[in-house]
Amino acid sequence: MPSVCLYFQVHQPCRLRRYSFFDVGQTHDYEDEAENRRILDRVVEKCYLPAGALLLELIQEYGGAFRVSFSLSGVILDQLEQHRPDVLELFQRLSATGCVEFLNETDSHSLAFLFSQREFRAQVSHHRDRIRSLFGQEGLTFRHTELIYSDALALAVEKMGYRTILAEGTEKILGRRSPNLVYRPVGCKKLKLLLRNYRLSDDVAFRFSDRNWAEYPLTAAKYAHWLHRIRREEAVINLFMDYETFGEHQWRETGIFEFLKALPGEILRHPDFRFQTPAEVGDKGGHDAASCPPIECPNFISWADEERDTTAWLGNAMQQDAAGKLYALEAAVLRRKDEGLLRTWRMLQTSDHMYYMCTKWFSDGDVHRYFNPYESPYEAYINYMNIIDDLSRQIRTKKGEKS
């Protein structure tokens, strides 16, 4: 029976205030609290509240046949706990239906695995504890920041006890194979790998409102028909996208909420199709890891840009320098045993800070500009490095006084 696996990433970074050379050693206030709150409130009203209410309505309407999954970064959890407990309560209501799975990731939405195995494990464990505490769920599925994935990551995740991991269904690892199957990472014995069908996912996330697209307008009936053509008994159609697709990236006026409301009924109209969460897909009969085809991924891939690699965050000298300087502080931060400094250091690990320094202004330039609060990648780099300079001075001083 073919399955549809619908997963939403929920994340909003903590944006940094403009921090000049003259602020170094003078003030340790790095975050732009007003801007963070403004953007959070906007996204809540445009996406999180209306989309969450609609999903709850759909789960109730279809009696559990409609199922979805979320990965909420620790960064967005912090913001919701502090400013919008109403949204957090809505996610808890969704969890209580038994039809929603909450995934685990790095708590700081970071690139830690690429720089520090110790820090990676600490962040994942912390996020796992938070999901258990907030939603009463034991994490079974892992999703790395920006769907970054490799064989080495899969092995580390399996050792942490996860059953399923998500990645991008790029031709770099698939070749001519289908993304609509359950795979086993090379070297793993129990871990199952689900690959994003990026064409079908991006039809909704990016092309939905594009009037120049040959398939515009996209209706739920048309989209369900495309899915129904994937008829293999063991097929799993993984539709992974940002939650902000609904109302923020695709505005309400585009009809995106009407599309979402109609989609479950159109998909379930075919009696052979069903919705499942990633953990359910991994556990369903016939998908024991030994019987899943192995797939090799020696180099890191992601769901970003045409290259589907890590160059959106580490593709130029500025990004590499910033990341290197940041993670070089790890040992000193841990020795200080200062929760405030540790929290700040982890806030600065959020991948968005490196993304703002990206210089890929070609095929993917519009996407990078849309998400970038800085005038240029160089401005983002200078601002960030001033903060790193000040943080490193704090770490070196005995009690965090000005050096």
* 12 and 158 housed in the same domain: yes
344-389: per-residue pLDDT in tens?
A: 999 999 999 999 999 986 444 454 455 678 999 999 999 999 999 9
* 259 and 357 housed in the same domain: no
* 27 and 154 housed in the same domain: yes
Residue 284 — very low, low, confident or very high, per pLDDT cuts 50/70/90?
low
For residue 403, pLDDT beyond 80:
no
Last residue of a domain, one of 262, 295, 328: 295
* 197 and 285 housed in the same domain: yes
CB contact at 8 A, 354 and 111 = yes
pTM of the model: 0.94
- pLDDT attached to residue 347: 98
Residue 327 — very low, low, confident or very high, per pLDDT cuts 50/70/90?
very high
* 239 and 320 housed in the same domain: no
| Residue 146 is a catalytic residue | yes
Which entry of 146, 168, 248, 280 is annotated as an active-site residue? 146
* 287 and 317 housed in the same domain: no
- pLDDT attached to residue 232: 80
* 145 and 220 housed in the same domain: yes
Amino acid letter for position 208: F
For residue 156, pLDDT beyond 90:
yes
Domain-located, residue 306: no
Residue 288 — very low, low, confident or very high, per pLDDT cuts 50/70/90?
confident
Last residue of a domain, one of 295, 322, 355: 295
Last residue of a domain, one of 295, 329, 356: 295
Domain-located, residue 206: yes
Domain-located, residue 16: yes
Residue 248 — very low, low, confident or very high, per pLDDT cuts 50/70/90?
very high
Domain-located, residue 276: yes
* 339 and 286 housed in the same domain: no
Instruction: Give dist(CA 229, CA 211) in Å, integer.
Output: 25
* 281 and 352 housed in the same domain: no
Mean pLDDT over each residue of the chain, to the nearest integer: 94
- pLDDT attached to residue 364: 44
Phi and psi angles of residue 102, each rounded to the nearest 5 degrees, phi first: -105, 125
Report the number of distinct structural domains present in the chain.
2
195-232: per-residue pLDDT in tens?
A: 999 999 999 999 999 999 999 999 999 999 999 999 78
* 153 and 47 housed in the same domain: yes
Can you give the CATH number for the domain in which 177 is found? 3.20.110.20
CB contact at 8 A, 263 and 200 = no
- pLDDT attached to residue 369: 56
Domain-located, residue 300: no
* 158 and 281 housed in the same domain: yes
- pLDDT attached to residue 361: 62
7-34: per-residue pLDDT in tens?
A: 999 999 999 999 999 999 999 999 999 9
Give strand pairing partners of 274: 3
Domain-located, residue 401: no
Domain boundaries, position 150: 3-295
Domain-located, residue 403: no
Secondary structure string (H, E, C) spanning the chain: CCEEEEEEEECCCCCECCCCHHHCCCCCCCECHHHHHHHHHHHHHHHHHHHHHHHHHHHHHCCCCCCEEEEECHHHHHHHHHHCHHHHHHHHHHHHCCCEEECECCCCCECHHHCCHHHHHHHHHHHHHHHHHHHCCCCCEECCHHHCECHHHHHHHHHCCCCEEEEECCHHHHCCCCCCCEEEECCCCCCEEEEECHHHHHHHHCCCCCCCCCCCCCCHHHHHHHHHCCCCCCCEEEEEEEHHHECCCECHHHCHHHHHHHHHHHHHCCCCCEECCHHHHHHCCCCCHHHCCEECCCCCECCCCCCCCCHHHHCCHHHHHHHHHHHCCHHHHHHHCCHHHHHHHHHCCEHHHHHCCCCCCCCCHHHHHHCCCCCCHHHHHHHHHHHHHHHHHHHHCCCCCCC
* 223 and 369 housed in the same domain: no
Domain-located, residue 302: no
